[in-house]
Amino acid sequence: MLHRSIFTRLQSTAAKPIPVNLQAIYHDPLKLPILHGHLKADLQFRSYEIENLKLYTDFIQRVAFYLGIPMTGPKPLPTRRERWTVIRSPFVHAKSKENFERSTHKRLLRVWDTNDDLLEFFIAYITKHSVAGVGLKCNVYKREKVQLDWDHEKIPKIEDNQNDLVNSKIIELLNDPKFK
């Protein structure tokens, strides 16, 4: 009797349409196109559990889309495997040993073409809402103008003399009968 009531409830919930915002969960996160190609940050994630890593990178891609930040990734980086062999017994008998392994999975997300203030807010938001067991390393890149403190007029004009010497040597080689 109880089984039939659960079955009828499942059928009734299956007949209801699923809202669009819940349907989006089952699809890959949307991404914005890269317009200018200015790399702003590299976000590198590390975790021992692949499921937490996938969940967190998926969440970050969705946050970036709704904030208007273009991203690429997640690019899988090489997995680091650490292995240990220990003696099972507390005494010296080394006939029985046990092996342990720990895999560190890594992913890379790249942030492009965004404002520095928005990037700062984005990083603060994703660190506040981080998932347990996932480490985040962030490299932020900034573009600044180069200021030069030298005068163009004080530089000696060597280039004109060198070009004249090179041009005269080329003409001399071209007019040489051995070259023809």
Q: How does pLDDT run across 131-167, given as a tens digit for each residue?
A: 999 999 999 999 888 877 776 666 665 555 556 777 7
CATH number, position 64 = 3.30.70.600
- How sure is the predictor about 7, in pLDDT bands with cuts at 50, 70 and 90? low
**Residue 29 token pair:** 């996160």
Q: What single-letter DSSP state applies at residue 90?
A: S
Tell whether 49 is covered by a domain: yes
Tell whether 96 is covered by a domain: yes
Tell whether 61 is covered by a domain: yes
Single pTM value for the model:
0.68
* Per-residue confidence (pLDDT) for residue 148, from 0 to 100: 74
What's the domain range around 67? 30-144
Number of domains observed in the structure of the chain: 1
* Per-residue confidence (pLDDT) for residue 113, from 0 to 100: 92
- How sure is the predictor about 101, in pLDDT bands with cuts at 50, 70 and 90? very high
CB 65 within 8 A of CB 134: no
CB 71 within 8 A of CB 61: yes
* Per-residue confidence (pLDDT) for residue 160, from 0 to 100: 54
Tell whether 72 is covered by a domain: yes
* Per-residue confidence (pLDDT) for residue 64, from 0 to 100: 94
CB neighbourhood size of 65 (10 A)? 15
Tell whether 120 is covered by a domain: yes
Closest CA to 69 of 43, 106, 105: 43
Tell whether 119 is covered by a domain: yes
**Residue 16 token pair:** 């209801």
Tell whether 2 is covered by a domain: no
**Rounded CA separation 39/74 (Å):** 15
Mean pLDDT over the full length of the chain: 85
* Per-residue confidence (pLDDT) for residue 164, from 0 to 100: 72
